[in-house]
Each structure stands twice: as C-alpha cells, then as structure tokens.
Amino acid sequence: MWLKRRKRENRRLMPIRDQKDPARGVFTRRALLCMAVQAGAMGELARRLYHIQINDGDHYARMAANNRVSKRLLAPPRGRIVDRYGIALANNKENWRALLMPEETTDVAGTIERFSTLIPLDERDRNRIAREMRHQRRFVPVMLRDFLSWDEMARIELNAPSLPGVLIDVGTRRVYPEGELLAHIIGYVAPPNENDVAHSTLLALPGMRVGRAGIEQNQDEKLRGTAGSVEMEVNAVGRVISELNREEGVPGEEISLTIDRGLQQRVLNHIGDQTASAVVLDCHNGEVLAMVSTPSFDPSLFDSGVSHAQWIEWTNNQHTPLINKAVAGVYPPGSTFKPAVAMAALESGLISPTDRVFCPGHLDVGGTRFHCWSRWGHGSVDLHLALKYSCDVYFYEIARRIGMDRIAETAHRMGLGVPLDIELPHTRTGLIPTPAWRQAHHHHWNGGDTIVSGIGQGFIQVTPLQLATYTARMATGRAVQPHLMRAINGEISPMASAEHWPSLNMPEKYLEALRAGMFAVVNEPHGTAPKAQLDLPGITMAGKTGSAQVRHVSRALRESGHFNSANLPWEYRPHALFICFAPYDAPRYAVSVVIEHGNAGADAAAPLARNIMRDTLLRDPSNHTTPPPESVAAVDDSFE
C-alpha cells in the first residue's frame, strides 16, 4: 500500500516535459499531413509554372504581345487608269480620316456620341456606321468620317483621352484629273454596299471603293489590289503609342486605255454644248481613240457622296448627262444604213452595182406612198448615184426585193444590232428587226415595215459605237471589234494587232462599190455632204449622211411644200448623223457622229465629223508612242 502511494506522489513531482501527453501523437500526425499537402501543392504549382513558362512560354508571350500590339489590315491603293500615252485619267490622292476600332473600347455607342459632338455626323453617316457595326467583326475598323480637314483632325487629337478606339488614319480617295472629259469612259467609284461586302470581305476595309460605271466597274477586281497590314503599339486604354511594322498592300493593276486624251479634248471642243456623241475608231484594230458623250458629269462627286439635289438635277435633265450615249444611246440610223442594205442586195445577187431604179420622188406600194427626201425625185439611178444622192426610192425598192431577213443578216455581220463586247457596262445592243421578231411580239410584219427599214427607219435602232464599227468594217473588210483596253501593267493586248481580226468574207468588189459611193457623197458634185470635204493636201474622206425622224410626218404635210423640220421644237427635230473613214485610198480611221435633234446630217453632223477626222489625221495617234504636240491639231475652226 505504502509503495503504491509513493509511486503516485513521485509521478506528481515529475517535470511536465517528462509526462506523456496523449494528444501529442495526434498533433504530430496532423502536422505531417499538412506538410504533405503543402508539399504537393508546391509541387503542382512548380509543375504549372514550369509548363506555363517553359512549355507554353511562346504562346503566352504572343498573347501578351497581342494585348500590347494592335494589328489591322490596310486597304490597298486602287490601280491607276491611264491613256495610250501614260497620262493619268484616274489616280489616287491621300486624305485623312477618322476610324473607330470597336474592340478597343467598351462603350462603342458612347464613343460615337462623343465623336459626333466634335465632328458632326449626319443621318447618312450614322446609318452607315450602324450598318457596318452590325455586319463587321469587332477587329475590323469602322470609318467614322472621311476627308477630314486640319481643324477637324486637331479637335480629334486634342480630345483623344475621351475617345478610346478612335484614331486618325491616312487613306486615299479617287481623283479624276480630266473631270467631265472622260467620265462616261472611266466611270466612277463609290463606297461598297452590303451585297458587295458579302461577296468580298476585302471591301469591308475602310477606304475601299467599288467601281460603279465605265472602266472602273468593268475592271473593278483588277483595280482593287491586295490588302496590306499595320502593327501598332497601344496602351491599356487602346490609344496608339507607336507604329511597329507596316506592310503596304499591293496596288491594283495599272490599266492603259486606247484613248488619246488630247484627241478626246479636241472632239469635245468641236461638239461644244450640243447634245451629241462621237466615236473615233482605228479601222485596223478596233482601238477606240476617242469616245465623247455630251453633256457629261463630274465623277469625283460619287467618291464622297452625291447630294440629293445634284442627283435630282441629273435625272431630271432631258439631255441625260449620266448616260454614255455612244454605247447606251440608241437611234434610228437613217440613211447611214443604206450601205448595209446595198451590200445585202449585192450579195443576194438580185441586183448589181449598175442596175437602175427610177425615182419620181416617191414609191407607191398598195395604197401607201413612201416619199423620197427630194420631192422632185432623182430620176434613173444606179448604186453609185443612189448613195451619192441618198435616194430613198432606190433603197425602198431594193429592200422590197430582197426582204428583211437578208438585210438583218448582213447588218449583223457589219456590226449593227449585235453585242460588241466592249469593256464597258450598261451597253445596249440596238435592234435590227425581222418578221420573226415582230411576230414574237404578237404583231404582224407587213411590206411597209421592210420598205421603211431600207432607209434606216421603222424599228431599227443602233448605237454610235455600232455605227463607227460598221464604218470600219466597210473600210477594211475585216470584222474588227471596238475595244478600250490597250495594256495591263504594260503588257500590250493582242487585239492591238490588225491580224487579230478575221475577214468579213464579203466580196471586195462590192465593198469597193460602197466605198466609191461614200466617196461621191463627200467629194463629187451634188453629193449630199460637200461640207465634209477635208482641206488636207492629198487626203480625201468618204462618208454618208443620215437624218432620223423621231415623229411621224403626215403625207399631206409633206406634200404641202411648207414642212420644215428645223421649225419644230428641239425634241421633235430629227437626229443628225454622219459616218466616215479616211484616208480614202488607205483607210485608217473611222468616225461616227450623232447629234440629238440636230435636224439635218449634212448641215449639222457632217461638218462636225470633218473637223474630228481632220484632228485625228493630224495627230495620227495610232502611229505615235508619245503625245503629239497640241499645235499639230490646232484647227482653224472659223470655217465651221
């Protein structure tokens, strides 16, 4: 007993450190467990750091750089359009613009509103911006305003801290140094619409333009080029700090036209303020050397946007300045059509050049009288005299003999009433009617339709370009096609070679008979176009007059002897036409002229065609590689 009590007392007297704590083992196990967890976590962290820094280091470095670097595409410069001598007809000029990078601002709407307090945005601008924001990705910049002035740029830069995502950029605008002179040929550009962007994402870039008329539209894809890119260093709020790298886009291709700018200007000077069109063609290869349509318009207005008032003025103008009359204006050819009728008759074998027809001043068929332009008639005439005097009765009669189908077939081969595939949009084909065409429109073709077609009236419609092509084909006997493209990036088109074009397969003796008749029109006594004679030594020209009625003149009025179409209101007067080629003995150039409501081809169109041909011969663009001096074509216009 005593021993047990003694042991108990000794245990009470032992130091605390020598006493056994039952919880001590539990604490040690927990510490070990925590240490193990901490070691595992540190190991996993080390593994992740190794993976991020070593394995994925390049990836995250790129991501970090992307947060610092803003990269965007640049619209490429549009290709130039030049004339045959390299003179710029459509070019680019730098301008300043304000862009918005949507991905660099958290409040796009607020940024646009703050911008509009500095640079006013009209309803059209706001609608365009909203449309682009809906249809473009956030990394594609949206143009807020183009064509900024220095004052406007200063206001934007001064308020840059409150305009996150807005930057000033250098763009280009399309300029047309010749203005109205070549508007119908060159065309114009305008901002792309939704359909354009849907077909090509390149067009979503600010500053991109789409061709809407002329060569700009026809060759749009060649002129666009390839986009470039620019990398810019930005700060935390997206403001540009510096430009790091720039790769310029590849400009569009340079297109060289067949046009002689100097000759184009001379033709326009001769036409003046008349509503007219004129085409000058190289007979050998079909190159269009000049193509004028008046009145015209300023194509540069479309790049920045045409005002509503200007559009209304253009569309309400009865002289139709927006229409290229040379390819889209259709007119009855009048007597200029007679050589085609003659060729159809000659090839058919139903007449020969020496066969004669008597003209008493009219032709009676059934109960209808068809009048010759001369009330007194021309007497007995063969082909040569019929062309020289432009005798209507002769061509009434041969048209009646051969029928309309043969006339149409020959006219088509000579370039009338068929597509000519020139490099211009919105061209018209015209019409050479046939009985089948008339019946397809649920009408009967009668003999009178054929007779009036013999003098280029009735349903026949042609364009001035077709008339020039028709003249060139008569002059050379080759199926030349008119074209405007001479070279792309300096590479000459094969169409520039005369050997490129096949023969018409028309007998040369018949073609010569037509040419001789057209020579008589201009150069022999009592021809219908003495005012078309050239005053160039040793050079003569062949041509054919035409007057095309635009309203019916009653038989009673014709026979009264008091009718004078010159006294009619302008819009009721006949169109005046003239076609010609020169030099006569070695044809090189063909010209067609149509003066709307000019009344008489012999008085109005023939002198104009003479002056145009004279300038063409003096400049001789087809045989020059550099622009001739303007003094070469300094024509004394006093005799006009």
Is residue 293 annotated as a catalytic residue, yes or no? no
Other beta carbons within 10 angstroms of residue 49's beta carbon come to 10
Based on the domain organization, do 372 and 237 belong to the same domain? Answer: no
**Looking at the domain assignment, is residue 617 inside a domain?**
yes
Question: Which pair of structure tokens corresponds to residue 457?
Answer: 């009236």
- Give the residue with greater pLDDT, 58 vs 454: 454
Asked whether residue 307 is assigned to any structural domain, the reply reads no
116 has pLDDT over 90: no
52 occurs within a structural domain: no
- Averaging pLDDT over each range in 69-83, 317-331, 484-498, which range is the top one? 317-331
Share in percent of the chain as helix, strand, coil (round to 5): 45, 20, 35
Q: Do residues 356 and 389 share a domain?
A: yes
* Domain identity same for 233 and 171: yes
**What is the band of 227 on the pLDDT scale with cuts at 50, 70, 90?**
confident
Q: How far apart are CA 339 and CA 420, in angstroms?
A: 20
CB 479 within 8 A of CB 501: yes
For residue 371, CA distances in Å to 398, 486, 554 come to 15, 46, 11
177 found inside a domain: yes
User: 415 and 547: one domain?
Assistant: yes
In a domain, 314, yes or no: no
Give SS3 for 592: strand
Q: For 83-93, write each residue's pLDDT tens digit.
A: 999 999 999 98
Please tell me the distance from the alpha carbon of residue 276 to that of residue 38, in angstroms, as a whole number: 95
Residues 193 and 332 in one domain: no
Task: Report the run of H or E that residue 89 belongs to, with start and end.
Answer: strand 88-100
Q: Are residues 224 and 280 in the same domain?
A: no
- DSSP secondary structure string for all residues of 325-377: HHHH--B--GGGGHHHHHHHHHHHTS--TT--EEESSEEEETTEEEE-SSTT-
**Can you say whether the dihedral through the CA atoms of 493, 494, 498, 502 is positive or negative?**
negative
The answer as to whether 42 is a domain residue is: no
CATH number of the domain residue 197 falls in: 3.90.1310.10
DSSP state of 232: E
Structural domain boundaries, residue 398: 261-295+323-623
Which CATH number is 405's domain given? 3.40.710.10
Q: What pLDDT is recorded for position 206?
A: 74
Q: Is residue 628 part of a domain?
A: no
- How far apart are the C-alpha atoms of 71 and 359, rounded to whole Å? 81
Tell whether 241 and 282 lie within a shared domain: no
Single-letter code of the amino acid located at 607: P
How high is the mean pLDDT of the chain? 85
In a domain, 631, yes or no: no
Residues 278, 216 within the same domain? no
pLDDT (tens digit, 9 = 90+) per residue, 551-579? Answer: 655 555 555 554 566 667 767 888 999 99
Residues 362 and 413 in one domain: yes
Ranking 454-458, 518-522, 546-550 by mean pLDDT, the lowest is 546-550
Q: Which two tokens mark 560?
A: 């009264």
Nearest to 467 by CA among 420, 435, 527, 405: 420
Active-site residue, selected from the candidate residues 70, 256, 335, 592: 335
Q: pLDDT, tens digit, for every residue of 16-31? A: 455 555 555 556 777 7
Give the up-direction half-sphere exposure of residue 490: CA atoms within 13 A in the CB hemisphere: 0
Is the per-residue pLDDT at 528 higher than 70? yes
Between CA 340 and CA 336 the distance in angstroms is: 8
269 with 164, same domain: the answer is: no
Mark whether 277 and 230 lie in a shared domain. no
Residues 6 or more apart whose CB falls under 8 angstroms from that of 214 comprise: 183, 184, 185, 186, 187, 188, 324, 424, 425
Q: Is 192 left (phi over 0), alpha (psi -120 to 50) or beta?
A: beta
**Whether residue 202 sits in one domain with residue 328:** no
Quote the number of domains for the chain. 2
Q: From residue 630, how far is each of 183, 260, 522, 610, 634 by CA, in Å?
A: 22, 12, 28, 18, 7
